[in-house]
């Protein structure tokens, strides 16, 4: 095995490692996204709950308004019974009628809220809760899958680290050093020089002298433009 073959073998393993490292980075991000989405659904439930609670307060207020007016009517009626002036009697009568009207109006408001608004908000809450339950199940399942995959990826990365060591040991030190330096800046590092003498890494043509060196399978021929290591037909 010459050094370019050994490098191609090493590059293969490095390619797998790069993909898996990217995936390992991406998995927690996807999990966080899922949980953020769930937070949105939870917020919808909280909003629906507070709207329903506010409506219940308003309904209670109409009941209190009606009962306060009726209490006042009772008091005025007692006063009316002991009244001995016709003028006062008529004034009390008008006040009583006005209060009875107010009590009826409060009842009507409460009735409308109870009949129309209440079922609508209760339905809204039920729907939000059902959606949350469904989403939570989905998200939990999905997050478990992501966790499982992350464990697989980590195990595979451990295995590949060993494989990489073995493959790197096959590459002559000088070639390895060149490869290691370049791979932080360029990927892939080892590429073919095509029939038109174009580097498959940077897509530029190399000079004939460089092409000849590749043709003669000299060790470590670098692209004159990008520095990648070139080979042709192993």
Q: Which is nearer to Zn ion, 79 or 225 (CB)?
A: 225
- Please choose, out of 31-39, 81-89, 175-183, 223-231, the segment that lies near Zn ion by the rule CB under 5 A: 223-231
- Please choose, out of 8-16, 29-37, 109-117, 199-207, the segment that lies near Zn ion by the rule CB under 5 A: 199-207
DSSP secondary structure code for residue 221 in this structure: P
Classify residue 191 by burial, with Cβ atoms within 10 Å: 0-12, 13-18, 19+: buried
Q: Which is nearer to Zn ion, 45 or 214 (CB)?
A: 214
Closest separation in Å from C-beta 10 to Zn ion: 19
Q: Which is nearer to Zn ion, 164 or 228 (CB)?
A: 228
Q: Contacts with Zn ion: how many residues (CB under 5 A)?
A: 7
Q: Which of 6, 48, 193, 201 binds Zn ion (CB under 5 A)?
A: 201
Radius of gyration of the chain from Cα atoms?
A: 41
Does 221 sit near Zn ion (CB under 5 A)? Answer: no
User: How many C-beta atoms lie closer than 10 Å to residue 11's C-beta?
Assistant: 19
Q: Which of 121, 223, 229, 231 binds Zn ion (CB under 5 A)?
A: 223
Whether the ω angle into residue 219 lies within 30 degrees of 0, i.e. cis, is no
Does 199 sit near Zn ion (CB under 5 A)? Answer: yes
Does 230 sit near Zn ion (CB under 5 A)? Answer: no
In sequence order, what are the residues at sequence separation of 6 or more whose Cβ sits closer than 8 angstroms to the Cβ of residue 38?
A: 132, 135, 136, 139
Question: What is the Cα–Cα distance from 191 to 11, expressed in whole angstroms?
Answer: 10
Q: Which is nearer to Zn ion, 92 or 223 (CB)?
A: 223
H helical segments located in the chain: 3-81, 86-112, 118-169, 173-183, 208-215
Question: What is the Cα–Cα distance from 179 to 171, expressed in whole angstroms?
Answer: 10
Does 224 sit near Zn ion (CB under 5 A)? Answer: no
Question: What is the Cα–Cα distance from 210 to 223, expressed in whole angstroms?
Answer: 8
Does 226 sit near Zn ion (CB under 5 A)? Answer: yes
Q: Are strands 229-231 and 190-192 parallel, antiparallel or unpaired?
A: parallel
- Please choose, out of 32-40, 72-80, 131-139, 192-200, the segment that lies near Zn ion by the rule CB under 5 A: 192-200
Q: Which of 202, 215, 220, 232 binds Zn ion (CB under 5 A)?
A: 202
Binding site for Zn ion (CB under 5 A): 199, 201-202, 223, 225-226, 228
């Amino acid at each position: 095995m010459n050094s370019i073959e050994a490098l191609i073998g090493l590059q293969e393993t490095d390619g797998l490692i790069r993909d898996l490292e990217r995936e390992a980075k991406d998995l927690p991000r996807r999990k966080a996204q899922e949980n953020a989405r769930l937070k949105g659904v939870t917020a919808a439930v909280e909003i629906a709950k507070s709207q329903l609670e506010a409506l219940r307060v308003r309904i209670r207020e109409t009941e209190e308004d009606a009962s306060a007016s009726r209490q006042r009517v009772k008091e005025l009626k007692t006063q009316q019974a002991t009244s001995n002036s016709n003028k006062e009697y008529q004034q009390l009568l008008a006040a009583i009628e006005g209060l009875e009207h107010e009590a009826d109006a409060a009842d009507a408001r409460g009735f409308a809220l109870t009949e129309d608004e209440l079922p609508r908000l209760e339905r809204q809450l039920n729907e939000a809760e059902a959606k949350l339950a469904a989403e939570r199940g989905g998200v939990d399942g999905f997050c478990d899958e992501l966790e499982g995959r992350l464990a697989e990826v980590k195990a595979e990365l451990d295995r590949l680290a060993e494989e990489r060591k073995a493959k790197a040991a096959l590459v002559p030190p000088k070639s390895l050093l060149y490869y290691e330096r370049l791979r932080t800046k360029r990927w892939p590092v080892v590429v073919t020089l095509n029939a038109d003498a174009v580097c498959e890494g940077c897509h530029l043509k190399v000079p004939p002298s460089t092409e000849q060196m590749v043709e003669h399978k000299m060790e470590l021929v670098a692209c004159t433009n990008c520095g990648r290591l070139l080979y042709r037909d192993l």
